[in-house]
Amino acid sequence: MTTRLSRDELPVDTAALARFLIGKIVVRETPEGVISGRIVETEAYVLCDAASHAFRGMTPRTRPMFLERGHAYVYLNYGTSWMLNVSGEAAGIGAGVLIRALEPLEGLALMQAHRGTEKLRDLARGPGRLCRALQIGPWADGLDLCADGPLWLGRDEVEPGEIGLSVRIGITKDADRPLRFYVRGSPFVSGTRALNV
């Protein structure tokens, strides 16, 4: 059984939150049914991080990153794919955690229809794919992921297993910082084999 995470459970530190979220569950409630997946990969975008959208301060686009930890920041990446992030600090401090990959749990047929593939491994392996699979878009930007609603964070009794640490994927600024967390051995993790050992 999945229970909703409370804000009090979330660390007030973005890197710690990125690690904490490994093994937790993203739940998407739709008229067609519930879709959910276990978080198997995250990246932290911390304070004073040149790779973070919040690095140069708050803008209308990045305002959700400055909300109290546990809010959704959803943005369009290169005009093609939506990305789901979770704000990671106290209100007024811009930082966030990118949810990079999920292990599908519920609503597999809906995920497959949304993604146009039956391959379980590929349904939510990568941030753009997971947003398509769960039908997450700009409507979710700024949502409180610890409150009742169509998109929320949860937990169950399953332990995630061994958590690995690596540099982040696909960035050029502050690219050498070890701020990516993932479940070792999970087939649902994105990235190259060299990053997933």
Indicate the burial class of 145 (C-beta count within 10 angstroms; 0-12, 13-18, 19 or more): buried
Average pLDDT over every residue of 98-124: 97
Rounded Cα gap, residues 89 and 45, in angstroms:
11
**pLDDT tens-digit readout, 56-107:** 999 999 999 999 999 999 999 988 899 999 999 999 999 999 999 999 999 9
Who wins on pLDDT, 40 or 161? 40
Residues of 32-62 as b/e, b for ≥16 C-beta within 10 angstroms? eeebbbbbbbbbbbbeebebbbbbeeeeeeb
Contacts of 92 (CB under 8 A, 6+ apart): 66
CB count in 10 Å sphere of residue 179: 24
pLDDT recorded at residue 68: 97
| pLDDT score recorded for residue 41 | 98
